Amino acid sequence: MTPAARLAAVIEVLDAVAAERAPADQVLKHWGRAHRFAGSGDRRAIAERAYDILRARARLAWAMGGSDGRALVLGALAHLDGLEPPQIEALFTGGHAPEPLTDAERVRLITPPEAPPADVLAGVPGFVADALRAQFGDDWFDEAQALVQPRAPVDMRVNALCGRVDGALKLLAHEGIEAQRTPLSAWGLRLPPQFAADVQKTRAYTTGWIEVQDEGSQLMAFLAGAEPGQTVIDYCAGGGGKTLALAAQMHTPTAHPRGSGDPGRAAALPVKDLGPRFRGDERNRLIALDVNQRRLDAIPERLTRAGASAELQLIGPDGEGTEEFEALADLVLVDAPCTGSGTWRRRPEGAWRVSPDDVARLGALQPKILARAARLVKPGGRLAYVTCSIFAAENDAVAASFAADHPDFRPVPIARAAATPALTDAARTRLAALAGDGHTLQLTPRRTNTDGFFIALFERPL
């Protein structure tokens, strides 16, 4: 494809992202399937350009006076690439290239834009900027920029059911991938963003040694505190990412996370020959619940690859189907439906799909879900409330509401939960600084170089 044809493709992709409200990565996959003539280099270039534009959407839309795909691409050429109007005109010729420039577009390209307001410079909608100001004070601008603009690294969790971190490093290195240990998760590995498409092709992934999981998500599962011999319920299991992490915690490790394990077996055997390394039973029971059958249907394949097992059960929107689990669980993890605002560095289009009404609606729903899940915690058990949001209305406000309405639960200090070998010493120091003596913790891309996860911990006294 010519550079101009690639630009036409980017315009098509951006318009589809806006119209379909599907994740940008799905739109790009669908575009690639529908345009088989595009080579791998073309698809990669189109994806990189589309994501660069989505991250800079606020500034480009301000400069061009519009947010459709064509306006954003023109803005990127002028304000990201620094092309002069004649150079841009040469790329817009029609045919396989974008249609020629209009007179209005030519005027816009030669007219310097007015100075943008702070929220545009930060790259977020105005109401998001207001929420971040209230939450982070003078740091709001840096928090906002880190939330949407940098590319996120590729984080992986080493599966304790297969081996240890050093063994996974060796297995990846054997395939030419040099990963680094994550600073906070003792079971985490990290790669630069450009490796995102390669990880799932490795033997380390296909044999269950690693799972792609943001370091912040790993920390949420570790802080929840699942242990061997417990009954653990993942109340909003979704696609099963945290279910897998909980299963690994419920397996009794035979070595420290930093031990080597033996990558040779995984390198030599297909997945089906590895067999389950963790099986639930009445003394070690993992239960994954969700209101969406399609999400639950995605979990068994992941469990098999990881060598884990769990009971999967569809429940109703008001908790129907959970009666048999009341006062049963040592731990209930509630990864509640949320705006997903903590993941915008991976899905920058999400920043422009959330409204104040969405935040208010979810902030009203989340306490109800948490209250239903709390009924499943037995005396002496723990309740973990988690979101991947940076909005206080979905996080601290929900935790405070639950604490006020449920005096039979008491807060668990984050510092106490962080005393687990699954966290590094650096993590315990950093998380203690962020949480103080409190029972809630907010991670952000700026604070911890993770997605923006939140956790609040409670326990039901004996």
Quote the pLDDT of residue 224.
97
Tokens standing for residue 181: 């240990």
Question: Quick one: pLDDT at residue 437?
Answer: 81
- Its sign, for the CA torsion 320, 323, 220, 384, is positive
Q: What single-letter amino acid sits at 64? A: M
How far apart are alpha carbons 320 and 317 in whole angstroms? 7
Angle at which helix 57-64 crosses helix 40-55, to 10 degrees, equals 80
Residue 261 pLDDT: 52
**CA dihedral (133, 334, 416, 303) positive or negative:** negative
Query: Which structure tokens are listed for 428?
Result: 């315990």
By C-alpha distance, which of 407, 423, 409, 421 is closest to 456? 409
Q: Using DSSP bridges, classify how beta strands 410-411 and 180-181 pair: parallel, antiparallel or unpaired.
A: unpaired
3-state helix, strand, coil in the chain (%, to 5): 50, 15, 35
Q: Which residues pair with 423 in a beta bridge?
A: 185
pLDDT of residue 198: 81
Are 164 and 255 spatial neighbours (Cβ–Cβ below 8 Å)? yes
Q: Is 351 in contact with 129 (CB distance < 8 Å)?
A: no
CA distances from 411 to 380, 417, 459 (A): 13, 11, 6
CB atoms within 10 A of CB 38: 18
Q: How far apart, in whole angstroms, are the C-alpha atoms of residue 91 and residue 4?
A: 5
Would the CA dihedral through 351, 356, 360, 365 be positive or negative? negative
Res 265: pLDDT: 43
Domain ranges of the chain: 3-116, 158-459
Question: What is the mean pLDDT for each group of 10 consecutive residues in the chain (462 residues)?
Answer: 96 94 92 91 94 97 96 97 96 96 96 94 97 97 95 95 93 92 97 82 93 97 96 96 95 56 43 44 86 95 94 95 97 98 96 97 98 98 98 97 97 95 95 91 97 98 93
Other beta carbons less than 10 A from residue 214's beta carbon: 29
The partner residues of 456 in beta bridges, in order of sequence, read 385, 440
Q: What is the pLDDT of residue 412?
A: 97
The DSSP secondary-structure symbol of 239 reads T
Instruction: Return d(Cα 266, Cα 330) in angstroms, integer.
Output: 33
3-state secondary structure of 455: strand
- The four Cα atoms 378, 381, 386, 391 give a dihedral, to 10 degrees, of 90
**Among 106, 127, 104, residue whose Cα is nearest residue 117:** 127
CB 70 within 8 A of CB 46: no
pLDDT at 273: 34
H-only helix segments in 207-262:
215-224, 241-250
Three-class DSSP category at 338: coil
pTM over 0.85, yes/no: yes
DSSP state, residue 164: -
Which residues, 6 or more positions from 178, have their beta carbon under 8 angstroms from its beta carbon?
172
Question: Among 150, 190, 221, which Cα is nearest to 444's?
Answer: 150
Contact between residue 330 and residue 305 where contact means Cβ atoms under 8 Å apart: no
User: What single string gives the DSSP state of each residue in 370-421?
Assistant: HHHHHTTEEEEEEEEEEES---GGGTHHHHHHHHHH-TT-EE--HHHHT-ST
**Residues 6+ positions from 410 with CB-CB distance below 8 Å:** 458, 459, 461
Domain 158-459, architecture per CATH? 3-Layer(aba) Sandwich (3.40)
Cβ atoms of 85 and 109 within 8 Å: the answer is: yes
